[in-house]
Structure 1
Amino acid sequence: MVREASGSRDGSPRLLREINDRAAIEAMLRRGALTRAELEAAIGLSKPATVSLLARLEKAGMVRRGELRGGNRGPAAQMWSVNGDLAHVAGVSLVPDEVDVVIADITGEIRVQHRSALPSGAGAPEAFAEAVVEAAGRVGLHSDQLAKVVVGAQGGVDPATGHLGFAPHLPGWEGFDVPGRLREALGTDVLVDNDVNLVALVEMTTGRARDVRDFVLVWLGDGLGAAVVIDRVLHRGATGGAGEIDWIRVPDRARQDTGVDRTGDRLGRLLSYRSINKLARAHGIKARNAVAAVQAARAGGADGRAFLTDLARRIATGVAGVVSVLDPELVLLTAEIAQVGGPELTDLVTAELHRLVVPRTPVEPAQCTDDAVRAGALQVALGLAREQVFGLPVTAVGVRSVPHEEQSRPGAGVQQGTEEEAR
């Protein structure tokens, strides 16, 4: 129950109005359009206080009236929602040859999605900016009207210099302050983060890691990477290179010989699409590419099983060092190889990992979708914009640090009695 309160000596009526306003905004952002009665139930205020709150927020342009909802009895109820036009943000996925942009209003409603090819080399940042400008223009905005632009890239941004490191696969993006260059080109605030970090963020909020405090997400795609989450905060490292397991040198524990130096090779090279396909061919599995080879192996009998086991040995060898140091609650596998490998590959990686390390860390497939990088970028952008516009708190990764039970508890964070007094 929300405690009835009276005014205090520290200017609390205004403070409590702000607390209640934020609680109402947050309820509508989380649940969508609400009637007055539904908002009362969500935040725990009385009817007069809620009426006053809605009038105040409508006058300030924070909320707006929607359509009427009819009922079986009595008059139709007025719907209320957050004014989405208060701010717009962009979430962007950057890969070597393409930029994928999504623009949403502050409620999270998608306004436009836009993909554009990128040139390789010095002109890539300019082409990137043009793609964002074009996407914004499709909804009648200039790029400087975007409250936040968050970019997921295959590399790590050094917080001291803004340089994008660990990204030789992104020619034209190294050697300069990437966020600074993009801010100048777009005229707005730009944040650049590692793409796998953003996928981990999606897993934390809507995927398998929703109730996990410490986990490692391993990206097994055309390029290798990992994200490390400790106490529900992404660990980026001193230079932005945390999770860059592509570059560690490990022995090749695959039983089938593919000509790899057995004393050690770069993990990213051992798990490249070319190397995976070569390993498949050594096991008698011929396919057009690595993804097809893994898919074929699941129905390939003994040869397929032997190939998947060798592939699991390579994956587990790379993951073992991370697990030994961090002892996480969970390891998640994601991207194309993990998706097509399915539970068979995940189970084999688990078995091989447990042969190498003491912790019995479970290994599971991630739930994220193909556009998870862009979705994570958008989620961070929305969190930062909502902090700026509404004063809603965000954590270091753009997610409110509020337990699930508190988020769903009616009246959480709301002060009741002084709403009428503060009016």
Structure 2
Amino acid sequence: MPASPSTARAINDRFALKLLQDEGPLTAAQLKTLTGLSRPSVADLVERLQGAGLITVVGEAGAQRRGPNARLYGIIADRAHLAALDVRTEGLSVVVADLLGATLAEATLPIDADVTGTEPAVEQAVALLERTAREAGVRRLHSVGIGAPGLIDPATGELRATTGLPAWHRRLVTALQERLPATVLVENETNLAAVAEHRLGAARDRDTFVLLWLGRGVGAALMLDGRIRRGVSGGAGEVGFLPVPGTVGLPSATDCGGGFHSLAGGAAIGALAARHGLGTAGAASAAAGVRAALAAGPRGEAFLDALAGHLAVGAAAVSAVLDPGCVLLGGETGHAGGAALAERVAGRLAAMSPLRTEVRSGELGDGAVLRGALLAARDAVQDDVFAPRG
């Protein structure tokens, strides 16, 4: 059954807006070529989108061209505003952006809830977002994307109470939902990092891959056929609890000690670097130890080989179950290791598994979570603002 004229117009409008979002400002002739529509249909489309306040003339194409055919149309970026938060155990980062995702203001704040208490920590975080929005000249946020450690309930979209998760994280999400006239979305930080790497980073050419997040903790995001897979309870990718050889004991339901976390968590990597004379032990020194090893030349190779062996254990387990064809080493530590570490892990993995699996370094590093949260918020804004009107 063919689409009704109104439905066809809505589909064409949405397609044109997506082109303007991805390609930047376009002339009517370029829109005609890219959409395949007739010249009169494009003229009507442009008039509708201008009338809806979604696009405007932003310039002219080419120094030799003048007049209506040379007009460049672009999305009105300040039609709506969004924000993204990267919530960590020790603090948070905030960015405020326009409809196209261009950063208008950003800020970071360390938070020690053990000192300040849960409610003061929440107030500090909310105040940071409000202050950053004011500095950006934004009066109202349409959508806020939040990346946080922990499990997201697939049924409700809520951050679940998890052992070890600071209480102020869950309270912050609730407080923002209660106090802001905005859509507030929360997602697991590693999942958001994978979305960012898929759309902006090292996995742009991959619809199926696994991201190993190497930060203070260790986790994985499963991107299968272009979609993040969360599992029944939201726990898909909790590889820190994965029982692996090379650790002392086994993990428990409340403690990932003895699991893959004991090989690839930040503290474990920092301790490994210290044992090789590359810095001091501790989660904060993991990426620094990798960078020091790369700078040390032959002296750092023993550490890099040992680290690659640790990471390959988890990568081999994930590959045996999912056969993703590609594993990204994400987070600050994966980014610091770059191609040199990825190649070492690939070599170890090839010796352990019969499945061909490419290993890459993530391109976005520790900033991938914030970029992913911004993408989630932008998608929510555009789903609403670009939605066809009756």
Which of the five TM-score ranges fits, normalised by the shorter chain?
0.7 to 0.9
- Which structure: greater helix fraction? 2
Matched residue count: 373
1:35 aligns with 2:58: no
AA matched with 1:319: A
**1:54-97 alpha-carbon deviations (Å, 9 max, x no partner):** 22222222222223445325547322222223322212211123
Q: Equivalent of 1:101, from 94, 97, 100?
A: 94
Q: Equivalent of 1:274, from 263, 267, 283?
A: 267
How big is the shift at 1:25? 1.8
Q: Equivalent of 2:370, from 363, 367, 374?
A: 374
The residue matched to 2:187 in structure 1 has which SS? strand
The residue matched to 1:240 in structure 2 has which SS? coil
Which residue of 1 is the match for residue 352 of structure 2? 356
**1:142-187 alpha-carbon deviations (Å, 9 max, x no partner):** 4xx322111011222224562435562535335x6x6444311323
How big is the shift at 1:347? 2.1
Q: What stretches of structure 1 of length at least 5 have no aligned partner?
A: 1-7, 253-259, 393-423
Task: Check conservation: 2:332, 2:365, Cα contact below 8 A.
Answer: no
Q: Equivalent of 1:22, from 1, 6, 14?
A: 14
Task: Check conservation: 1:213, 1:230, Cα contact below 8 A.
Answer: yes
Task: Check conservation: 2:148, 2:169, Cα contact below 8 A.
Answer: no
Task: Check conservation: 2:54, 2:79, Cα contact below 8 A.
Answer: yes
Mark the CA change 1:205 to 1:286 in structure 2 (over 3 Å): closer, same or farther: closer
1:151 aligns with 2:151: no
Task: Check conservation: 2:219, 2:238, Cα contact below 8 A.
Answer: yes
Which residue of 1 is the match for residue 107 of structure 2? 114
Task: Check conservation: 1:212, 1:329, Cα contact below 8 A.
Answer: no
The residue matched to 1:146 in structure 2 has which SS? coil
Mark the CA change 1:140 to 1:357 in structure 2 (over 3 Å): closer, same or farther: same
Which deviates more, 45-54 or 25-34? 45-54
Whole-angstrom CA distance in 1 between matches of 2:8 and 2:290: 58
The residue matched to 1:94 in structure 2 has which SS? strand
AA matched with 1:365: S
What is the TM-score normalised by the length of structure 2?
0.85
Q: Percent identity?
A: 35
Higher relative contact order (CA 8 A, sep 6+): 1
Task: Check conservation: 1:166, 1:244, Cα contact below 8 A.
Answer: no
Which residue of 1 is the match for residue 131 of structure 2? 134
Which residue of 1 is the match for residue 255 of structure 2? none
Task: Check conservation: 1:25, 1:82, Cα contact below 8 A.
Answer: yes
1:204 aligns with 2:191: no
Q: Equivalent of 2:81, from 64, 84, 88?
A: 88
1:13 aligns with 2:8: no
Task: Check conservation: 1:164, 1:173, Cα contact below 8 A.
Answer: no
AA matched with 1:56: R
1:194 aligns with 2:191: no
Task: Check conservation: 2:316, 2:352, Cα contact below 8 A.
Answer: yes
What is the TM-score normalised by the length of structure 1?
0.79
Task: Check conservation: 2:243, 2:250, Cα contact below 8 A.
Answer: no
Which deviates more, 51-60 or 199-208? 51-60
* RMSD after superposition: 2.7
Whole-angstrom CA distance in 1 between matches of 2:325 and 2:184: 33
Whole-angstrom CA distance in 2 between matches of 1:343 and 1:14: 51
Mark the CA change 1:75 to 1:141 in structure 2 (over 3 Å): closer, same or farther: closer
